[in-house]
A and B are shown apart, each in its own frame.
Chain A
Amino acid sequence: MAEKFDAIVVGAGPSGNSAAYVLARAGLAVLQIERGEYPGSKNVQGAILYSHALERIIPDFREDAPLERHIIEQRAWMLDDDSYVGSIYRSNAFNRPPHNRYTIIRAQFDRWFSRKVQEAGALTICETTVTDLHMDGSRVVGVQTDRAGGSVYADVVILADGVNSLLARKAGFHGELQPRDVALAAKEIHFLPESAIENRFNVQGGQGVVIEMAGKITRGMVGTGFLYTNRESITIGIGCLLSDFQESGISPYALLEQMKMHPAIHPLIEGSEMKEYSAHLIPEGGYNAIPAVYGDGWLMVGDASMFVNGIHREGSNLAMTSGQLAAETVIELAKEGRPMTANNLARYRKKLDDSFVIKDLKKYRRMPDILEHNHQFFTDYPEFLNRAAHTMVTVDGVDKKSKEREIRSGLVTRRSRLGLLGDAFKLWRAFE
């Protein structure tokens, strides 16, 4: 006989774990289904953990969560072929607990989170794929899994199945994912002894550094690279729009290999031993690409709903908060004795609108379009900035005024006065 639960959560990533945890803590009967061998086994993330979202769900997470390093320094690099210009922000304030951001290894972090979910009373079943949703008319009433006797029912199903949710597509909640709305990222973890990391990045103890990179490393494609310090390893990766990869024919792996050879990056990872390689999609369509996130008997959270802020490389925090808000909606309705209809579940969207999740995505709603149609931000500008820096710091007897003139005219020949003004305006509008 098929079992019935108050709620079924599909997926055990940050969004699914948050939803299941909050629901189970409120005493609801929760079933969580994850297709990976264990939670986190299929997940790929940089990864930076933003404390605020998790703190609201598990206030004392720092006590036993597997955290690698707290971030005290953020570098932003604009790379040309063999140089970069950049900015650094480092502050001792980031050393004072409670720390604001940490590097984590997702496979370990997700397992820890899942243990919390199970301790809270949810039933988590792994190595099981949800293949379909059971419908009663337009209402979702349960899920079908790939196991014999695999139907399970619930009052509400929370889709936390990540980017490219096949379930949502099958059920007609989203259309086909567009290549321009997703980035494909390749990532490696390299083992490096703690002492080497401390020397190379000028940190001690549990301190860590983040480097965000843009410029020639993406070979004209819209995208960015990143490098994070873990306790005894370095995470390095690069991601670009899927549509750009398709057009250029460059493979993500080759792009990453090339990035690792950049003269500014290579010394940081030299002599390290590669521990793992993985690739994953990141939803980058932004506000305009958000699908319907609720309906009769269902809610959608995290990457499945396109809740990623590509500009700030935030995703897991939006995933956690959306999972929490979805769970709180269900708990409220259950307490009030109301059915899980689309009308009632619309409260979830309202909660999202009032949170940083939608507010931030809305703020940058123009960004995906602008970047997609203005590749100069990834080619001409990094090159120009590097040349300008080179001209300014090279001491060769040319007077500084002439140097400034040379830089200015270099910029105008590349991009014309009008183009420059236009770009400035677009960026201003995008960040306004």
Chain B
Amino acid sequence: MHIIVCIKQVPDSAQIRVHPVTNTIMRQGVPAIVNPYDLYALEEALRLKDRYGGRVTVLCMGPSQAEAALRKALSFGADEAILVSDRAFAGSDTLATSYALAAAIRQIQKDMAVDLVFSGKQTIDGDTAQVGPGIARRLGLQLLTYVSKIEGIDVEKKEIVVHRRAEGGAQILKTRLPCLVTILEGVNEMRFATMGDMFRAARYPLKVWDKDAAGIEDIEKVGLKGSPTVVAKVFAPQPRAQKAERIETQTGAPADLAVTLLAKLFTRYPHIEREIRKQAG
């Protein structure tokens, strides 16, 4: 089985600050990490490899620094890593990115057929959750989003059974391969790489594909030109004026505490009190 995992290098959003004067995001000095959602996808792919055998290829589009993200993926046990990197891709939005990644996956397929493509649920810097589905559409793959568990794969029949979080409940779905799966966060825990894997990752001769190697046919479809998204405005949300209040819970009976809390709630939101009294008749 051949699994491709698409990963992205993102700035660690926990450490990002908004410039107080210009209101822009201060990226300088913010460490880059593998998009945390993608790591769940990678671990899930590695588990399938452990169960059914095969190969895991990680694929990343980004600047040369994204090499670090790919090496990290290799250290966890991915077999191959490809960085799709070209000036022509600068400024790509989700539409252009999915076009470029789909092209690269077609190239990979020439070498070895692909059964599954994984991606994270979304990225922490863009939060769009559009790239995975965009790739599936372009490659004509079955699309399984928000997958919480992979029940199993029938290698003979080329079928997969997954649990999917859906509005109002869970779905158990069976579909045929090849397909694209986006994985929910928190469904697994990334393994701890062995020393051997660390060495392999550090020494691995990374494959870097430019636009030609990645098989980009229409240059108008990548980079800024291929990106219809317009960022109309960036602003930092104003902190809310309401202050949190601290209530001592160590002393006093729970019932008294409940009464205090209700009283505070009712003073702040009188309509809730009215509503409750009305319901109570």
Assembly CA distance A123 to B196 (angstroms): 13
Pair A148/B202 contact, Cβ less than 8 Å: no
Q: Which of B26, B29, B202 contacts A125 (CB 8 A)?
A: B202
Assembly CA distance A38 to B210 (angstroms): 27
Assembly CA distance A145 to B196 (angstroms): 12
Q: Which chain A residues border B198 with CB–CB below 8 Å?
A: 125, 128, 147
Q: Mark A90-113, 1 if CB is under 8 A from B, else 0.
A: 000000000000000101100000
Assembly CA distance A37 to B202 (angstroms): 14
Which residues 133-152 of A have a CB within 8 angstroms of B? 145, 147-152
Q: Which chain A residues border B20 with CB–CB below 8 Å?
A: 191, 193, 273
Residue of B31, B195, B199, B203 most packed against chain A (CB within 10 A): B195
Known: A123-B203, A125-B202, A191-B20. Is A148-B29 also a contact (CB below 8 A)? no
Assembly CA distance A191 to B16 (angstroms): 12
Which residues 155-208 of A have a CB within 8 angstroms of B? 191, 193
Q: How large is the interface on A (under 10, 10 to 19, 20 to 34, 35 or more residues)?
A: 20 to 34
Which of chain B's residues has its CB closest to A111's CB? B31
Contacts A37-B31, A147-B193, A150-B194 supplied; 19 other A-B pairs, CB < 8 Å:
A3-B199, A38-B68, A41-B31, A105-B29, A107-B29, A107-B31, A125-B199, A125-B202, A128-B198, A145-B195, A147-B192, A149-B194, A150-B195, A151-B195, A191-B17, A193-B20, A193-B21, A273-B17, A275-B17
For the complex, is A218 an interface residue (Cβ under 8 Å from B)? Answer: no
Known: A193-B21, A273-B17, A273-B20. Is A123-B202 also a contact (CB below 8 A)? yes
Q: List 30 A-B contacts (CB under 8 A).
A: A3-B199, A37-B31, A38-B31, A107-B29, A107-B31, A123-B199, A123-B203, A124-B202, A125-B198, A125-B199, A125-B202, A128-B195, A128-B198, A147-B192, A147-B193, A147-B194, A147-B195, A147-B198, A148-B192, A148-B195, A149-B194, A149-B195, A150-B194, A152-B195, A191-B26, A193-B20, A193-B21, A273-B17, A273-B20, A275-B17
Which residues 54-76 of B have a CB within 8 angstroms of A? 68
Please count the residue pairs between chain A and chain B whose beta carbons lie under 8 angstroms apart in the complex: 42
Assembly CA distance A96 to B17 (angstroms): 34
Q: Mark B4-35, 1 if CB is under 8 A from A, else 0.
A: 00000000000001001100001001010000
Q: Nearest chain A CB to B89's CB is how many angstroms away? A: 23
Q: Which chain B residues border A145 with CB–CB below 8 Å?
A: 195
Q: Which chain B residues border A123 with CB–CB below 8 Å?
A: 199, 202-203
Q: Mark B198-221, 1 if CB is under 8 A from A, else 0.
A: 110011000000000000000000
Which residues of B come within 8 Å of A, CB atoms?
17, 20-21, 26, 29, 31, 68, 192-196, 198-199, 202-203
Assembly CA distance A193 to B20 (angstroms): 8
Q: Which chain A residues border B26 with CB–CB below 8 Å?
A: 191
Which of chain B's residues has its CB closest to A125's CB? B198
Q: Nearest chain A CB to B226's CB is how many angstroms away? A: 32
Assembly CA distance A275 to B29 (angstroms): 11
Q: Which chain A residues border B192 with CB–CB below 8 Å?
A: 147-148
Which residues 336-392 of A have a CB within 8 angstroms of B? none
Which of chain B's residues has its CB closest to A122's CB? B202
Which of chain A's residues has its CB closest to B29's CB? A108
Q: Which chain B residues border A193 with CB–CB below 8 Å?
A: 20-21
Q: Nearest chain A CB to B29's CB is how many angstroms away? A: 5
Assembly CA distance A152 to B68 (angstroms): 23
Q: Mark A13-45, 1 if CB is under 8 A from B, else 0.
A: 000000000000000000000000110010000
Pair A148/B194 contact, Cβ less than 8 Å: yes
Which of chain B's residues has its CB closest to A38's CB? B31
Residue of B17, B21, B29, B31 most packed against chain A (CB within 10 A): B29
Assembly CA distance A385 to B195 (angstroms): 59
Assembly CA distance A254 to B140 (angstroms): 61
Q: Which chain A residues border B193 with CB–CB below 8 Å?
A: 147
Q: Nearest chain B CB to A29's CB is how many angstroms away? A: 12
Q: Which chain B residues border A37 with CB–CB below 8 Å?
A: 31
Assembly CA distance A416 to B192 (angstroms): 65
Pair A149/B17 contact, Cβ less than 8 Å: no
Q: Which chain B residues border A108 with CB–CB below 8 Å?
A: 29
Assembly CA distance A151 to B195 (angstroms): 8
Q: Which chain A residues border B195 with CB–CB below 8 Å?
A: 128, 145, 147-152
Assembly CA distance A37 to B33 (angstroms): 10
Assembly CA distance A125 to B199 (angstroms): 8
Q: Which chain A residues border B199 with CB–CB below 8 Å?
A: 3, 123, 125
Which of chain A's residues has its CB closest to B12's CB? A37
Assembly CA distance A125 to B192 (angstroms): 14
3 closest A-B pairs by beta carbon, nearest first, are A148-B194, A147-B195, A150-B195
Pair B196/A149 contact, Cβ less than 8 Å: yes
Q: Nearest chain B CB to A206's CB is how many angstroms away? A: 15
Assembly CA distance A125 to B194 (angstroms): 12
Q: Nearest chain A CB to B151's CB is how many angstroms away? A: 29
Q: Which chain B residues border A148 with CB–CB below 8 Å?
A: 192, 194-195
Q: Which chain A residues border B17 with CB–CB below 8 Å?
A: 191, 273, 275
Which of chain A's residues has its CB closest to B196's CB? A149
